[in-house]
């Protein structure tokens, strides 16, 4: 065990002197996460902004009934009143024509008294009837006006019946407030996963793990070069003439790469949680299990690349090709959900796809701990496969 740790420590010290390692493992995934985030809208507009249709409002009546109408419209979920006491009806008409307002509502003088006397009175609405928003605005204004008119009629009837203890104002307010709790209502609920992805930070729940996995593979080029240098300088051959066994050498290199990759994952997960607002730590145990399994897989791949490559140029090539192939097929750039079933099946030949599944099940889909067990097992299986290949390749090269 001591020999394994000695080899791992030697590799880590050698890697720490190379600035390219720091660039690929930390700086590049952060930069590309921001780049892809802007490209796919992860840093889009503020979710807290008011998305209601802007509607100008001008009241020429100072009756209390008009005030009730104004309050109903102001509480609307689909229109937003834009009020400016210095604007005239002509100004509002120009704003609608220029597209600055979706419509404008003008309450004529005498509107409140006419409602109380059960007389027909019309609100003036300026709008382009050919637009899609007009239907929505028309329905909202008619609903508010009908509620005011219905409350006034009901209160008038109750007042005429001379019901004791039921004055007009009380009956009007009670009738109007009854609309707040209609006899039939529709409640829309969303699953935890949908709620999670509706937040701005969680729009990056795909980009962040994608870039993290991609550049973990890219960072292997430096780690692989360390193994290549050890072989070309015949340090490996001299090491094997000592009491150090081949498995010790492999495990030592593997441990060094694993510690490097797992540290990268840990730092980027913390960065994603607190800076990008990606909810990695909703289930920290599940997230770290995926990170641990992914680090095992990528480390074994790095070990295999280091054994296969005969020169530093080959180490670079053998590192970059898996990065692009595995990242592209595995959905690191574009979610596999956007592709067909055939491509999704092919994509899961890449270990990156299993890593993406594990991370997204936690921070994007809102699933439980059990949802990462299969992806983690698949990554561990790839780790064993790559490690066995590296062991076989090293033995075969020595026999030659």
245 and 388 assigned to the same domain: yes
Cα torsion 308, 310, 315, 317: sign: negative
222 with 350, same domain: the answer is yes
Same domain? 87 vs 129: yes
Query: Same structural domain for residues 36 and 94?
Result: no
Full pLDDT tens readout for the chain, 400 residues: 777 888 888 877 876 776 666 666 667 777 777 776 665 555 554 444 567 889 999 999 888 888 988 988 998 888 999 888 778 888 899 888 888 899 999 999 988 888 888 787 788 999 888 777 888 888 888 888 888 888 777 777 776 676 555 677 766 676 666 655 555 554 544 444 444 444 444 457 888 888 888 888 877 777 777 787 777 777 766 766 676 778 888 898 899 889 988 998 998 899 888 888 888 998 999 999 999 999 999 999 989 998 888 887 888 888 888 888 998 899 888 888 777 788 889 999 999 999 999 999 998 888 889 999 999 999 999 999 999 999 998 887 655 5
Residue 236 shares a structural domain with residue 376: yes
Sign, CA torsion 364/370/374/377: positive
> What does 280-334 look like in DSSP terms, one character per residue?
GGGSHHHHHHHHHHHHHHHHHHHHHHHHH-SSHHHHHHHHHHHHHHHHHHTTSSS
- The two beta strands, 53-59 and 103-107, are parallel
| Pair 241, 357 in one domain | yes
Q: Which domain holds residue 123?
A: 53-183
Let me know if residue 377 belongs to a domain: yes
Examine residue 21 and state whether it is found in any structural domain, yes or no.
yes
Residue 78 tokens, joined: 């689909």
CA distances from 298 to 219, 301, 303 (A): 10, 5, 9
Out of 166, 183, 200, a domain closes at 183
Is the same domain home to 292 and 172?
Answer: no
Q: In this structure, is residue 248 part of a structural domain?
A: yes
In a domain, 193, yes or no: no
| CATH code, domain carrying 74 | 3.40.190
Asked whether residue 38 falls in the same domain as residue 68, the answer is: no
133 and 279, same domain (yes or no): no
As given in the structure block, the two tokens for residue 232 are: 């070309």
Q: What's the whole-model pTM score?
A: 0.61
The beta-strand segments (E) located in the chain are: 53-59, 79-83, 103-107, 124-127
Q: What total of structural domains would you count in the chain?
A: 2
324 burial level (CB within 10 Å; 0-12, 13-18, 19+): middle
In a domain, residue 195? The reply is no
CB of 287 within 8 A of CB of 355? Answer: no
Q: Is residue 202 part of a domain?
A: no
Which residues lie below 8 Å from residue 367, measured CB to CB, with a gap of 6+?
193, 361
User: Which CB contacts under 8 angstroms, 24+ apart, belong to 115-118?
Assistant: 115/65, 115/148, 115/149, 115/152, 116/65, 116/152, 116/156, 118/152, 118/153, 118/156
Q: Are residues 263 and 157 in the same domain?
A: no
The confidence score (pLDDT) of residue 136 equals 86
| Two structure tokens written together for 101 | 């307002």
Element (DSSP H or E) covering residue 70: helix 64-74
Packing angle between helix 220-232 and helix 284-308, nearest 10 degrees?
40
The answer to whether residues 29 and 68 belong to one domain is: no
**Residue 297 within any structural domain of the chain:** yes
CA dist., res. 226 & res. 217, Å (int): 15
In this structure, the answer to whether residues 248 and 372 fall within a common structural domain is yes
330, part of any domain: yes
């Amino acid at each position: 065990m001591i020999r394994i740790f000695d080899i791992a420590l030697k590799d880590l010290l050698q890697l720490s002197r190379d600035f390219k390692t720091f660039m690929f493992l930390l700086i590049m995934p952060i930069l590309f996460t921001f780049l892809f985030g802007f490209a796919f809208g992860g840093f889009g507009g503020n979710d807290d902004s008011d998305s209601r249709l802007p509607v100008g409002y001008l009241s020429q009546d100072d009756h209390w009934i008009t005030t009730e109408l104004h309050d109903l419209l102001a509480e609307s979920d689909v229109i937003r009143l834009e009020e400016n006491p210095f604007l005239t009806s002509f100004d509002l008409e120009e704003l609608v024509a220029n597209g600055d307002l979706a419509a404008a509502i003008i309450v004529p003088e005498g509107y409140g008294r006419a409602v109380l006397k059960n007389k027909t009175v019309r609100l003036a609405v300026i709008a382009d009837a050919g637009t899609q928003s007009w239907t929505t605005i028309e329905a909202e204004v008619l609903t508010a006006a009908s509620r005011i008119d219905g409350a006034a009629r009901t209160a008038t009837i109750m007042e005429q019946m001379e019901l004791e203890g039921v004055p007009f104002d009380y009956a009007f307010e009670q009738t109007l407030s009854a609309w707040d709790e209609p006899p039939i209502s529709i409640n829309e609920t969303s699953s935890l996963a949908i709620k999670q992805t509706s937040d701005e930070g969680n729009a990056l729940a795909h980009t962040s793990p994608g870039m993290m996995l991609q550049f973990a593979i890219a960072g292997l080029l430096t780690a692989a070069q360390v193994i290549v240098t050890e072989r070309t300088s015949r340090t490996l051959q001299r090491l094997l003439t000592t009491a150090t066994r081949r498995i010790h050498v492999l495990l030592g290199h593997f441990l060094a790469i694993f510690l490097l990759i797992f540290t990268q994952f840990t730092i980027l997960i913390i960065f994603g949680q607190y800076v990008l607002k990606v909810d990695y730590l909703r289930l920290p145990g599940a997230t770290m299990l995926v990170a641990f399994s992914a680090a095992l897989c990528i480390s074994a791949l790095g070990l295999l690349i280091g054994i296969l490559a005969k020169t530093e140029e080959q180490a670079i090539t053998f590192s970059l090709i898996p990065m692009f192939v595995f990242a592209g097929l595995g959905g690191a750039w574009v979610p596999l959900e956007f592709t067909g079933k055939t491509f999704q099946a092919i994509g899961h030949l890449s270990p990156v796809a299993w890593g993406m599944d594990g991370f997204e099940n936690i921070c994007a889909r809102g699933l439980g701990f059990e949802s990462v067990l299969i992806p983690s097992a698949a990554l561990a299986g790839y780790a064993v496969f790559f490690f066995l290949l590296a062991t076989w390749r090293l033995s075969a090269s020595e026999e030659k």
